[in-house]
Every structure is written in structure tokens, then in C-alpha cells.
Amino acid sequence: MWHLTEPCTPFSVTVLESLDRERMIHSPPGVPITRPPAPAERQPPRPANMFLLWARGRRSPIKDKFATASTAGERRRVMATLVPLAAIDAALDSDWAVRSIQNRHISTILGIQWKQAPAFERARYAQLQKAEAARHRQLYPEYKFTPSRPAPS
């Protein structure tokens, strides 16, 4: 992978014809332009865990329920149909009902629902996760999870 470290000039446009011209035109002067990694260079995705498999189809319906709620009271009523309000008030900031629903709110709702899910449902997703892990091993035999290290402070 290479980086263009100089500002874009007409000369660099002619020399680096493989770069996308639109990205060059719309890049601010002095900002280096980087090429995204080729598909073969990208790191494979991590295999989905039980919670991610379980939550996969549940985000959109929750967001749709909140799309029609325009006031804080309506949002609290919708939330009460999903999880106990005491759990939400403890997990989220106090003004969650005032703003529109955000992905972090949906994640909190899903997390509470997952913890309250019956054991048989969690066991079903444990089996799905094992199957997903086996499929992932077939697709990416060289994959090894390497967590990024935190930057020194």
C-alpha cells in the first residue's frame, strides 16, 4: 500500500492515473490521499458472536417503532413495550427520551433484552455461533484474532 504525501498537483494527477480522479479533485489541498486497501489486503472480519447473531434482525424493528414516536412521552411508552423503564433509566442518560433514538440506545435495549432472554433461546444462538465460527474458519483458514493495542498515553 502506498501513500501520496504531497498535495495534489496537475503533475501528480498525470503520474498517478490509477487514483480515482474524483477523490483527488474533492480532497482539500495539502491533505494526503490514500488508496483503500485492495480486497486481498483487507483483514477478514471477526466471526459473529451469539449476541450479534441474535441482534442481527432486531435493530430495524426497534428503530421503526421509535420512528413514529415524536414526543418524549410517546418514546417512553414505546420503550416500556420493549424493556422495563427502570433498567433503561439506569443504563442511559436521563434525557434519552427527549432526543431521537440513536444506535447506542438500540444497543442498550438489545443488551437488556439479551440478558433477559431464556436459556433455551441463548443455547440456540450458541449453536448458531458455533456453525458461524466453522464457516468462518473455512472461509478464512489463515485468520487469527489480533486485537489492536491501545496507544501509549
Identity of residue 110: L
User: Do 55 and 30 sit in the same domain of this protein?
Assistant: no
Q: How confident is the model at residue 79 (pLDDT cuts 50, 70, 90)?
A: confident
User: Do 12 and 74 sit in the same domain of this protein?
Assistant: no
User: Do 75 and 9 sit in the same domain of this protein?
Assistant: no
The per-residue pLDDT for range 97-122, each reduced to its tens digit, is: 667 778 888 898 899 999 999 999 99
> How confident is the model at residue 25, as a pLDDT?
53
The per-residue pLDDT for range 21-64, each reduced to its tens digit, is: 545 555 556 666 666 666 666 788 889 999 999 999 899 888 88
In sequence order, the 6+-apart residues with CB closer than 8 A to the CB of 125 are: 50, 51, 53, 54
Q: How confident is the model at residue 128 (pLDDT cuts 50, 70, 90)?
A: very high
> How confident is the model at residue 94, as a pLDDT?
63
Could you give the C-alpha distances from 131 to 11, 44, 102, 144, in angstroms and in order?
A: 53, 17, 31, 18
> How confident is the model at residue 131, as a pLDDT?
95
Domain presence at residue 59:
yes
pTM, full prediction: 0.64
Structural domain including 22 reads 3-34
Burial of 12 (C-beta count, 10 Å sphere; 0-12/13-18/19+): middle
> How confident is the model at residue 69, as a pLDDT?
82
